[in-house]
Amino acid sequence: MQRKIIMEKSVISKKYDNLRLELINARKSVNLTQVELSKKLSRPQSFVSKYEHGERRLDVIEFIEIAECIGIDPFKLLKKIIKNRNELFVR
């Protein structure tokens, strides 16, 4: 039996919150401020603030660049996010 996947259109969703929180935790785990990360990304600090607060969604390329600037493997982070999603959001 296949599990039904419900696609949420809103920027604000539990699934997206999971992604945001993992990125925030990853940034903080390496003691990077939003300003320091934004400089590594060559973006304004508001870019980091907006995706961390859920005001802006990230595309896949941005996600990979952010993970790499933080110094973490984007694929490992995605696996963690998927695992959390599957544990928390089983329908």
- The domain limits of the chain are 14-88
Q: What's the confidence (pLDDT) of residue 14?
A: 83
Total-model pTM = 0.80
Angle at 68 (CA atoms; ends 22, 73), nearest 5 degrees: 65
Determine the pLDDT at residue 33: 98
- Dist. CA 85–CA 91, nearest whole Å: 11
Give the CATH number of domain 14-88. Answer: 1.10.260.40
Q: Three-class SS of residue 31?
A: coil
Low-confidence ranges of the chain (pLDDT < 70): 1-12, 87-91
